[in-house]
């Protein structure tokens, strides 16, 4: 029986991928779950498995092709016997019922570096880190703690990278301020707090945000001084093993770690000016509330910033290529999340793409059409936020001249120890494969510093939480139901609504639920998904459970303080085995 092997759901705001490498050829005999092809995106690299045993009939696409989620990759003759036996690498461990934790980024091919000067016999520093974002500055601090002489290169006027300056921190400041503004106008009365009128002081809100950013970046500068780390100001360029320049001046080091981060992804036909067509950077600096805001992209950044300006008074429309929000999130959780956002007043135009943005004297006119083709239409906006993802910031670093291998998406290729194709040069964070998350970069920064010190640095990529800081928040860690079905893993689910949680009722924040997924045989926790108040805080307990291989019963039998929101996690864990107490 012929079976189509398709592009699976790939992750946050990921609508397409590049066919990296075929791991099985037509005529090869394959077993169920054997990897067939490697797909690469800006955020993740995945191996697509065979859905059943059989013989691979044909490749529908070739290496290097761009393919959309749901597209057919290959045809499999399920149940067929015979065929060639494909050579496989020896498995790392015997296959178990629960999925094996994800490996570190895939090992890179080792091209011969461009001929250059030999490594310096003596160096200025033991380690130089290029980039002072969360991955870079944390790597520098950990390396200094381990006794290395460390310098960190940063071309911005302040430390902290995108996250602290124009990303995570300022956006969370505006999210909290906008939530307070909305609560004062719509929620305080039920608490007996009557306010005659609520007036927005956007200038003060922006001033508060700027103060928070300044405190954080100065905090990193203090940590550099405390740990004896030298800040090399200027643009860094790699010259080869042990050699680089900073602002044109030569610097030497025994080890170089590239942590250059990422940039906002561009979209053909949409020209950013950071005034009326903005990225997240411009959206954080608007001096007035736009009457009509259109967000291109239904992922984390677009929904967070769209929520900010919606609460402050904007009519917000989100245009998303897929027929859902936050791709990669558990389907049941996404559906509930979407209903809440619609109830709040966000307008969602799913399954559509923007093909053109024309600036007018009063704003922008967008041309939008169905993703699968159809009649185009126009949408008028005062401001357009382009938030379709991010791309690795690998240009301008001298990587090609130094012989450092990049993949076809401009990401630096590394092995399991974060080593690049050039000896003595390493890379971490958004500039390599994997989810573009500050905390993932931080973990990699610690890992590479410890590896360079001869320790056992390691990152468990199955225990990296993700959070959408809307209200309610959405937090997730581990596998979704859809991913486990694709892997053929038997599982059980426990759920508990915040409506049945005493603290949530007291707070008046009862939207959402906790969902715990555990292995049907071993009860090991495989994934947790939370939609509700403080989900980003509650997910930490669940991440630790996955990291330590805990069972759902382990979580359920831990005493949780009462009344707390965390009791919803306990109850959902108990629910896996039908033991929930308060529902």
* pLDDT value of position 90: 39
Dihedral angle, C-alpha 495, 569, 517, 8, nearest 10 °: 90
* pLDDT value of position 112: 41
Regions of the chain short of the pLDDT cut 50: 12, 87-115
Which listed residue (59, 191, 310, 562) is catalytic? 562
| DSSP calls for 312-358 | TT-EEEEEESSSSSSTTS-HHHHHHHHHHHHHHT-EEEESEEEEEEE
- Tens-digit pLDDT profile for residues 469-522: 999 999 999 999 999 999 999 999 999 999 999 999 999 999 999 999 999 999
Superfamily of domain covering 125-261+391-452: FAD/NAD(P)-binding domain (3.50.50.60)
Fold of 472-575: Enolase-like; domain 1 (3.30.390)
CA quadruple 513, 517, 518, 524: dihedral positive or negative? negative
* pLDDT value of position 150: 98
417 is catalytic: no
Q: Quick check: do 2-85 and 125-261+391-452 share a fold? A: no
Q: Where are the domains of the chain?
A: 2-85, 125-261+391-452, 277-388, 472-575
- Residue 517 three-state SS: strand
Q: In this structure, which CATH number among 3.30.2090.10, 2.30.30.30, 2.60.40.650, 3.50.50.60 belongs to the domain 277-388?
A: 3.50.50.60
Decide if domain 2-85 falls under CATH 3.90.1150.10.
no
* pLDDT value of position 119: 75
User: What predicted TM-score, i.e. pTM, was given to this entire model?
Assistant: 0.82
Q: How far apart are CA 401 and CA 405, in angstroms?
A: 10
Q: Which two tokens stand for residue 381?
A: 């906006």
* pLDDT value of position 84: 61
* pLDDT value of position 13: 53
Please say whether the beta carbons of 341 and 325 come within 8 A: yes
- Tens-digit pLDDT profile for residues 431-442: 999 999 999 999
* pLDDT value of position 89: 40
* pLDDT value of position 50: 86
């Amino acid at each position: 029986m012929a079976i189509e092997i398709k592009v699976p759901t790939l992750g946050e705001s990921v609508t397409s991928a590049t066919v990296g490498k075929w791991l099985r050829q037509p005529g090869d005999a394959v077993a169920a779950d054997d990897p067939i092809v490697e797909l690469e995106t800006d955020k993740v690299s995945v191996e697509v498995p065979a859905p059943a045993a059989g013989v691979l009939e044909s490749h529908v696409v070739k290496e290097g092709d761009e393919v959309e989620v749901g597209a057919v990759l290959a045809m499999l003759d399920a149940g067929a016997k015979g065929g060639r036996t494909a050579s496989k690498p020896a498995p790392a461990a015997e296959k178990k019922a629960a999925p094996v934790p994800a490996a570190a980024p895939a090992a890179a091919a080792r091209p011969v570096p461009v001929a250059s000067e030999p490594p310096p016999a003596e160096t200025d520093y033991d380690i130089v880190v290029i980039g002072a974002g969360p991955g870079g500055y944390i790597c520098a601090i950990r390396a200094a703690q381990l006794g290395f002489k460390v310098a960190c290169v940063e071309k911005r006027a302040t430390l902290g990278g995108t996250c602290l300056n124009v990303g995570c921190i300022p956006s969370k400041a505006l999210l909290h301020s906008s939530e307070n503004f909305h609560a004062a106008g719509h929620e305080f009365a039920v608490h007996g707090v009557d306010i005659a009128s609520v007036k927005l002081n956007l200038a003060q809100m922006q001033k508060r945000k700027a103060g928070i950013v300044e405190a954080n970046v100065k905090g990193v500068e203090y940590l550099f001084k405390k740990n004896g780390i030298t800040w090399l100001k200027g643009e860094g360029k790699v010259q080869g093993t042990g050699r680089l320049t900073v602002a044109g001046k030569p610097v030497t080091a025994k080890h170089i770690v590239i942590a250059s981060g990422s940039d906002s992804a561009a979209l053909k036909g949409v020209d950013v000016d950071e005034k009326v067509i903005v990225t997240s950077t411009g959206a954080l600096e608007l001096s007035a509330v736009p009457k009509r805001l259109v967000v291109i992209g239904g992922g984390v950044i677009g929904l967070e910033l769209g929520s900010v300006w919606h609460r402050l008074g904007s009519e917000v429309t989100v245009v998303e290529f897929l027929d859902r929000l936050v791709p990669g999130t558990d389907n049941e959780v996404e559906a509930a999340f979407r209903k809440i956002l619609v109830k709040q007043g966000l307008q969602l135009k799913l399954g559509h793409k923007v093909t053109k943005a024309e600036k007018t004297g009063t704003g922008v006119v967008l041309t939008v059409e169905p993703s699968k083709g159809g009649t185009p239409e126009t949408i008028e906006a005062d401001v357009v936020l382009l938030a379709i993802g991010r791309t690795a910031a690998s240009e301008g670093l001298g990587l090609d001249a130094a012989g450092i291998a990049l993949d076809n998406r401009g990401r630096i290729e590394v092995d399991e120890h974060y080593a690049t194709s050039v000896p003595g040069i390493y890379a971490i964070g958004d500039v390599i494969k994997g989810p573009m998350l500050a905390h993932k970069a931080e973990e990699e920064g610690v890992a590479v510093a410890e590896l360079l010190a001869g320790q056992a640095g390691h990152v468990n990529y199955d225990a990296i939480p993700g959070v959408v800081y809307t209200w309610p928040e959405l937090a997730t860690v581990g596998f979704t139901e859809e991913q486990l079905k694709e892997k053929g893993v038997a599982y059980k689910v426990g759920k508990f609504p915040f409506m049945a949680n005493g603290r949530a009722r007291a707070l008046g924040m009862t939207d959402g639920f906790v969902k715990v997924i555990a292995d049907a045989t071993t009860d090991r926790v495989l994934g947790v998904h939370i939609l509700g108040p403080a989900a980003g805080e509650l997910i930490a307990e669940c991440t630790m459970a996955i990291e330590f291989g805990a069972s759902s019963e382990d979580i359920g039998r831990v005493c949780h303080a009462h009344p707390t929101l965390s009791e919803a996690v306990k109850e959902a864990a108990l629910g896996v085995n039908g033991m929930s107490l308060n529902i």
